[in-house]
Amino acid sequence: MKKAFSLSIPLLFVFTLSRAQSNNSDTTRRYIKVPSGYLMVLRQGDDILKKIEEFAISEKIPSANFTAMGFVNVQFGFFDAATKKYIPKDFKNVEMASMPGTIAWQDAKVSIHTHGVVGDRDFNAYAGHILSATVSTGSLEVMITPHDKKLERKFEEPLGANVLQLGN
């Protein structure tokens, strides 16, 4: 175990470096303005939630709905009401068949809530709350419909979940 660990440091370093370089050198535009909002095309290796977050900050999005499809690696999480934690599971190289979500704000940070349905090479489907996702060998096409009101998510008790607030 110890040997494996000491080996993994330079490997991780190389991998991180290569990822960073590829992201730095890839200056391809990721989104354009369209009449109904924004059309985003994320590319191999992109961190999906991070890219949507950066977009929301750059374009000063008060709130938005989006829907996406593509080819991804995804980590789903199921919220365990007893432990109040997400139980995660990874799915690699799967078709993202449907991925609806919303963009809002929480504690001055972008708050993305998104679910997804993926299909593996035998077309078996898996669905859940998305904890993280990257684009695999392909792309992710995202249609974003912004709203004009700044919306906040708030952790509600005794529910134990974040809920999008519409005001009263």
Q: Rule CB under 8 A: which of 28-57 touch its own copies?
A: 28-32, 34-37, 39, 41, 43-44
Nearer to its own copies by C-beta: 41 or 47?
Answer: 41
Cβ atoms of 46 and 66 within 8 Å: the answer is no
Residue 90: CB minimum distance to its own copies, A: 10
Structure tokens at 83: 């432990």
How far is it, in rounded angstroms, from Cα 138 to Cα 65? 23
> Per CB under 8 A, which of residues 142..161 are in contact with its own copies?
143, 145, 147-149, 151, 159-161
Instruction: For residue 167, state whether it binds its own copies (rule: CB under 8 A).
Output: yes
Nearer to its own copies by C-beta: 10 or 35?
Answer: 35
Nearer to its own copies by C-beta: 7 or 163?
Answer: 163
Per DSSP, the residues of 36-103 read TEEEEEEETT-BHHHHHHHHHHHTT-SEEEEEEEEEEEEEEEEEETTTTEEEEEEEEEEEEEEEEEEE
Instruction: For residue 139, state whether it binds its own copies (rule: CB under 8 A).
Output: yes
Residue 136: CB minimum distance to its own copies, A: 10
Nearer to its own copies by C-beta: 47 or 117?
Answer: 117
**CB proximity list for 98: less than 8 A, separation 6 or greater:** 67, 69, 116, 117
* Burial class for 10, CB neighbours closer than 10 Å (0-12, 13-18, 19+): exposed
> Per CB under 8 A, which of residues 67..126 are in contact with its own copies?
67-69, 71, 76, 78-81, 87, 89, 91, 95-102, 113-126
Instruction: For residue 127, state whether it binds its own copies (rule: CB under 8 A).
Output: yes
